[in-house]
Amino acid sequence: MRIRPLVLASSSPYRRQLLERLGLPFECASPDIDESPSQGESPEQLAIRLSETKARALATRYPAHWIIGSDQVAVLPGGAIAGKPGDHRRAAEQLRQSSGNTVTFLTGLCLLDSATGEAAVRCVPYRVDFRELTESEIDSYLTAEQPWDCAGSFKMEGLGIALFREMQGSDPNSLTGLPLIALTDLLRKRGLNPLTSVQRSSNLASDR
């Protein structure tokens, strides 16, 4: 299978930083899509659909590429979906609902071959048990990190880790928005191994 250039369908600095860890060259582009849930759609179906929609939204602009789309859905106790809060008030409401409870984060992943239209999709779950949080702790955390653009109202790579009692899942990177283990699997199946690609890059650099 032909190796194609990579494009990350996201403007998120968190996802960009995660993808950089694989040491592969890539471009970033922001897709413009409607992220509203569809009638009767499950949280898992929503996460997968949005990740694929993001990737396909860039297919015309990048017609011979592998486009990576990813989207995250946070499922609060009772099954309600927590989107990006947007402001302090909504973020505080989300954290009050999460306090002392388990929240499941579903991260959809799509690797689209824009030349053929073939898409491989995954959904990676991750469970987070929140500590019992006081109003003072919630307010202090939100004032410090202002996670208005984060589903679930926290930044796991920062002080948000102090909100949790326990985490369970196969890939903690999925909490930040891009499941690297699943992505590496999809890339390897298409002949792109980050480990050997990094080695080739290192050899080329040493030959200069």
Residue 191 sits at the vertex; the CA angle it makes with 185 and 195, to the nearest 5 degrees, is 65
Across 146-157, b (16+ Cβ under 10 Å) vs e yields ebeebbbbbbbe
**Whole-number Å distance between alpha carbons of 12 and 10:** 5
* Mean pLDDT across 14-30: 95
Catalytic residue among 32, 34, 71, 149: 71
Q: What is the pLDDT of residue 162?
A: 96
Q: What is the pLDDT of residue 208?
A: 36
**Whole-number Å distance between alpha carbons of 22 and 151:** 24
pLDDT band at 198 (very low <50, low <70, confident <90, very high): low
Q: What is the pLDDT of residue 125?
A: 96
**Whole-number Å distance between alpha carbons of 104 and 76:** 7
What is this structure's pTM?
0.89
* Mean pLDDT across 48-68: 97
Contact 94, 76 (CB under 8 A): yes
3-state class (DSSP) for residue 111: strand
Domains of the chain: 6-207 (3.90.950.10)
71 is catalytic: yes
Strands 164-169, 26-29: pairing kind: unpaired
